[in-house]
Chains A and B, each alone.
Chain A
Amino acid sequence: MYIYDEIDQKIVDQRVEQFRGQTQRFLAGKLSEDEFRALRLRNGLYVQRYAPMLRVAVPYGLLSSKQMRMFAHIARKYDRDYGHFSTRQNIQYNWPKLEEVPDILADLATVQMHAIQTSGNCVRNITTDHFAGVARDEIVDSFVWCEIIRQWSTFHPEFNWLPRKFKIAVNGATSDRAATEVHDIGLHAVRADDGAVGFRVVIGGGLGRAPMVGHTIREFLPWQHLLTYLEAALRIYNRHGRRDNIHKARIKFVVKEHGVQRFREEVEAEWLQLKDGPNTLIQAEVDRIERRFTRPAYAKLPGRDAALDALLAADTAFRHWHMRNVHPHKVPGYAAVTLSLKQTGVPPGDATSAQLDAVADLADRYSFGELRVSHEQNLILADVALTDLHALWGEAKKLGMATPNIGLLTNIICCPGGDFCSLANAKSIPVAQSIQERFDNLDYLHDIGEIDLNISGCMNACGHHHVGHIGILGVDKGGEEWYQIEIGGNQGEVRPGMRASLGKVIGPSFARAEVPDVIERLIECYLENRDSEAERFIDVAHRIGTEPFKDHVYGKADPQSPRRRRQLAAS
């Protein structure tokens, strides 16, 4: 955890007071609806279908058990007893009262939390790998760099009214678990031959209605220049981003319209003016930030635990969970554990206050009091001793958070959709549920293997459907809800060598009731075509293209009974 110093705390406290004043002026009729709208958005406050929605930042997805308990407290006191974890490593409350939001913010500030810049056309929460600091393939601890960027971007005076929102993601490992190629700016840590740390800078990715994969505009930016370079890129964007058309306002359109080469030259020319100026980072600051992070006091443990091995051999259910939800750790004797928020029957990412409290307890007892939120909308205990895994599994099961589906079909990323969001074309949560219900056979799920299925309720793509191996998009046809299916999307180099890619639509859309059948067809086609279990759905989709899938779904190929297929595959 990054622990605030007095100034960090003061900045957050000041903002609560400023926002309280703005809310009061609005309620007193002294601030127009339009103006307050823009101001409250800077503080994560939307007005949605039924009520305001408050988005609270979980900077780079890392939080303490104490902060998690505060989330539970807020759910209980100000909301309907639950919160929703988003794909941007934030938490959202769907039912707060406008007048009470300043109080919520004041409560949050007592545990070093805030809603600063969680929406609006400014630099948003910086996101990163949910295994930062513990991954075996770590190059740098990305949390440190995220915090440096968080401070730089918080109330940046020049970049508070950008053409559009701005999302930065940082990846500190060999694998990219932060989908950095589909962010406005993605930063990849690189270590030069002499050991010097720098970043590969990717600009112009993004999802939404015109999804694009970003371009590398600099292969190696020495860390000292991180902030001056960001400042240069943001300035070019602030000055040249389109302001006449909200749908063409993201930085990706500047990159596209100017061309990568010209855009690069513009950024580099601006940077030359700023380079070596006061914003040049210094080692003392990096060290200071690093020191303000509390680190787990790991025990010296053996890399294997015989008791664990025996339990794994004896218990299939535990083994399944271990296989899917337990991840390698750089410190011997420890593992990272995903607590799945994807239990069938519960909207993906939702958690009740009781669950939040219980998870905080688990974090205290099993993981040095820290938690992470993943962009796949799950929670992570990053530092669990191998000797504790079995006990933790038992407790997670009781909480409904041990669904052994991480990386599998039912670990669906899903936006709030038509149940909550006023922009939606269609509901998304019931679709996720019907798929989870259809694929309820665990053996079959494990046989299908790794696959990302993502659902968005409209083309804004909050559910990352473009980068799902299977993506589902809610569309509106004459006032009715329909669903378009894409395949072949990939969020990024989760496995080295496989860059991010965007899915392709397989054909005309479907009614909601048909969606589980269609998914089943896609899976059948995959199973028929894979050359071994090691070849994942996405690998097959890239190898054979969309045509065979299309034929199988729309019936050109011989349609065997899907149910029978499933039974065969499961047996």
Chain B
Amino acid sequence: MAKLIRNRRVVADNWLLLELGAGGALPPVPAEGDVIVPLTVWLARRDALAVRLGQTGVWLDSNEGAETVAADLRRLPLIAVRFAAFTDGRGYSTARLLRERYGYSGEIRAIGDVGRDHLLNMQRCGIDAFALREGEDAEGALQAFEELPASYQASVVEPQPLFRRRVAG
């Protein structure tokens, strides 16, 4: 079973990630077990999925913003945000909007090109689970959370910018 970092710990992952078939064909969704379905699948079969045995999450591709699922957040225990490449930073905005604008409190999981050197910013944007890409050392990657402990900005983990914390402190 693939390794996952969740809340800064390496844990086993029991979610099945479903991809779209060739030409965008919607994949069959297993009747049981926890699955993460592509957004198109979710949008097409939302009500049927809600009554499956097992939990259903959704994953957003880099070009699919938070607003696409804003109405369904209460039904979604998990939203995965895909980073097509680590250099594609759209997922940071998606995660932040899910937390800050839409108040999502379930798991936000980074999937795709997710490496150790990106965990910190992802976490600051509200991502709390990380499906590391092939070849990453999960235990070693935990150190990334210890880097750059001080920061200027407001973020999901630190809702006040430093200048307001300074005034308060």
Binding site for B on A (CB under 8 A): 7, 10-11, 14-15, 17-18, 21-22, 30-31, 35, 38-39, 121, 151-152, 154-162, 227, 235, 238-239, 243, 273, 277-279, 281-282, 284-285, 288
**Interface residues in B, total, Cβ within 8 A:** 36
For A273, list chain B residues within 8 Å (CB). Answer: 101
CA distance A239 to B88 in the complex (A): 10
A469 to chain B, nearest CB (A): 38
Contact B155 A157 (CB under 8 A): yes
A500 to chain B, nearest CB (A): 29
Do A157 and B125 form a contact, CB below 8 Å, given A38-B86, A238-B93, A288-B163? Answer: yes
CA distance A380 to B120 in the complex (A): 39
Contact A288 B166 (CB under 8 A): yes
Q: Which residue of A lies closest to B151 (CB)?
A: A155
Do A161 and B159 form a contact, CB below 8 Å, given A151-B152, A278-B154? Answer: no
Contact partner of B167 (CB less than 8 A), chosen from A7, A277, A285, is A285
CA distance A21 to B116 in the complex (A): 12
Residue among B93, B120, B160 with max Cβ neighbours from chain A (10 Å): B93
Contact A282 B167 (CB under 8 A): yes
Please choose the segment from B17-25, B33-41, B71-79, B142-150 that sits at the chain A interface, where 4 or more of its residues have CB less than 8 A away.
B142-150
CA distance A288 to B167 in the complex (A): 10
Chain A interface SS verdict (over half): helix
Q: Which residue of A lies closest to B92 (CB)?
A: A158
Tell me whether B124 is interfacial, beta carbon within 8 Å: yes
Contact A238 B89 (CB under 8 A): yes
Binding site for A on B (CB under 8 A): 62, 65, 86-90, 92-93, 96, 101, 115, 117, 120-122, 124-125, 137, 147-155, 159-164, 166-167
Do A10 and B150 form a contact, CB below 8 Å, given A160-B89, A161-B88, A238-B89? Answer: yes
Question: Beyond the given A154-B152, A281-B163, A282-B163, could you list 20 further A-B residue pairs with CB under 8 A, ordered by the A residue number?
Answer: A7-B162, A31-B117, A35-B117, A39-B117, A151-B152, A156-B153, A158-B89, A158-B92, A158-B93, A158-B121, A162-B89, A227-B161, A238-B90, A243-B62, A243-B90, A278-B159, A278-B164, A279-B153, A282-B164, A285-B166
Contact A161 B96 (CB under 8 A): no
Contact partner of B152 (CB less than 8 A), chosen from A155, A159, A161, is A155
CA distance A345 to B89 in the complex (A): 45
Ordered by A's residue number, 29 sampled pairs between the chains whose C-beta atoms are within 8 Å are A11-B151, A11-B152, A14-B147, A22-B117, A31-B117, A38-B87, A39-B117, A155-B121, A157-B122, A157-B125, A157-B153, A157-B155, A158-B92, A159-B89, A159-B92, A160-B92, A160-B121, A161-B86, A162-B89, A235-B93, A238-B93, A243-B88, A278-B154, A281-B163, A284-B167, A285-B163, A285-B164, A288-B163, A288-B166
Interface contacts (Cβ under 8 Å), in number, total 102
Q: Which residue of A lies closest to B157 (CB)?
A: A157
Contact partner of A278 (CB less than 8 A), chosen from B96, B137, B160, is B160
Contact partner of A151 (CB less than 8 A), chosen from B121, B149, B162, is B162
9 shortest interchain CB distances as A-B pairs: A161-B89, A157-B124, A285-B163, A157-B121, A151-B152, A158-B92, A18-B147, A278-B154, A14-B148
Contact B153 A152 (CB under 8 A): yes
Contact A15 B148 (CB under 8 A): yes
Do A278 and B161 form a contact, CB below 8 Å, given A35-B117, A161-B88, A239-B65? Answer: yes
CA distance A518 to B154 in the complex (A): 55
